[in-house]
A and B are shown apart, each in its own frame.
Chain A
Amino acid sequence: MYNCSDLKKGLKLLIDGEPHVIVNYDFTKPGKGQALYKCKLRNMITGSLFDRTYRSGESFEPASLEERDMQYLYQDDSGHVFMDKKSYEQVILTEETLGDDKYFLIDNMDVEILMYGERAIGISLPNFVNLRVTQSDPWVKGDTAAGNNKPATVETGYTLQVPSFVEEGTLIQIDTRTGSYVTRVKE
């Protein structure tokens, strides 16, 4: 069982017998008062989103989902297509189901697909992925101040803040848990 201190973005819980994922999480604690855990949850089967506030002391059943090793193939009109590395069976996940995870998928990447029975309902990403910067304003000469940053867009369409010395075409490492820049990748 999980308790409130285990709650965090991405945690999968069984609620009313169905798997749910926490898509947004906030902790609040008024004064010396009781902690409140505000969650936005997505039902992983129906896709429906709803808010729920839990109080300390409540407990939760983990959604034990089977994870299958798959490879990301491509995106088409139906969604993102993955292939089971053993059976070569293909499954499709929609953009809606993937949420922000879709920004961290690269062709041929190995991922774990979460299965609810025979149905693919989510993805478990590696903590770090390498993506190439496709658009970013050039480095302004003379901008030598440490810690200056600028927006950059990577090949998947994801936009994030990067150091000013990162140029278009650079391969960068991104932490998929926070969505933030880690380092340039030496090629």
Chain B
Amino acid sequence: MVEQNWQLVRKQDTLIKRARIIQQIRAFFIERDFLEVETPHRIPANAPELFIDAVASDNWFLQTSPELCMKRLLAAGYPLLFQICRCWREGERSKTHLPEYTMLEWYRSHCDYHQLMDDCEKLLLHLCPDNVLKWQGKSIDLTPPWPRITVAEAFKLFSPISLETVLETDEFDTTIALKIEPRLPQDKPLFLTEYPVKYASLARKKPADPHVAERFELYIGGIEIANAFSELNDPDEQRQRFQLEESQRRAAGKSSYPTPKPFLNELATLPPAAGIALGVDRLIMLLCDKNEIDEVVTFIPEQL
């Protein structure tokens, strides 16, 4: 007698909740006149990024994000878009990472990243109508507005090393991950905003302060849930930033990636816009009170 696979049996309640959450996410965007689209998972070129490695598929790649195709649609005049899809990132595995995971992206024309912060607040309230998220013994108050802290303020408040120093010594990521993230307040969700331009390859510079980009990360319960920005729509500047990422990849001994040419060409017709990528599995971890991403997906790679 072969027994049913217990690791699957015991996930049943969570997987039922997961399906319901995804249906509610769809309903939220459809209600607000967003068009749901599907773009190819397998593409000839992703946006080259120093620290994101794509999974090769024949001579093409699996998408690391649907971003480029979504922006080509925006540039063709589609004003409000969303997509729930699979993304792949080589070598990312932890309690909050799967190398294949589910991403929610949404895009708005004729607005900036502030509107996306409002969207995040409304989406969470839609999914969690009693305004309180209970997660791993913590009680997270979802009542808007959620605190918005700039990266510069976060360094002043929480980092033993100054932002200027870490930018010179290339310790920005390490300091954010090891010094700042663990100290961010967790009683409410939190937006960390205004990233140094160097750390926002596809984001627009802030007109009032061109050293920073109009980018934010959303943290809930100390977990990074979403990354968003006002879209850079200057093809020349975007080409230069891609070239910079590519040269940094080569300098780091990483494989070189092709340039996404149609995207760069069509970027010239992109209206002012903002877009966001949200990790659906992580959001479901929070809503189902689970502390590992493994608990909210049907199969993990180790069980295939």
Contact = CB atoms under 8 A, between A and B. Distances in A.
Given A27-B92, A31-B224, A53 B10 contact: no
A147 B199 contact: no
B92 A31 contact: no
A141 interface: no
Interface residues of B, number: 37
Contact of B199 (A29, A33, A146, A186): A33
Interface in A19-75: 26-36, 53, 55-57
B227 interface: yes
A139 interface: no
A29 B45 CA distance: 22
B181 A27 contact: no
Interface stretch (A10-18, A76-84, A95-103, A175-183): A175-183
Given A26-B95, A33-B172, A147-B12, A180 B51 contact: no
A37 B242 CA distance: 26
B20 interface: no
A29 B12 contact: no
A183 B9 CA distance: 12
A132 interface: no
Interface string B1-43: 1110011011111000000000000000000000000000000
B97 A27 contact: yes
Contacts of A108: none
B177 interface: yes
Interface string A117-138: 0000000000000000000000
A26 B217 contact: no
Nearest to A36: B177
B173 to A, nearest CB: 3
Interface string B186-212: 000000000100011100000000000
A53 B227 contact: no
B173 A30 contact: yes
B94 interface: yes
A186 B1 CA distance: 8
Contacts of A156: none
A149 B10 contact: yes
B52 interface: yes
A180 B8 CA distance: 13
A34 B9 contact: no
Given A32-B51, A36-B173, A146-B12, 15 more contacts: A28-B94, A29-B51, A31-B227, A32-B49, A32-B200, A33-B172, A33-B177, A34-B50, A35-B91, A146-B9, A147-B11, A163-B9, A182-B6, A183-B2, A183-B3
8 contacts: A4-B91, A29-B97, A32-B201, A33-B173, A148-B10, A163-B10, A183-B3, A186-B1
Interface of A: 4-5, 26-36, 53, 55-57, 146-149, 163, 180-184, 186
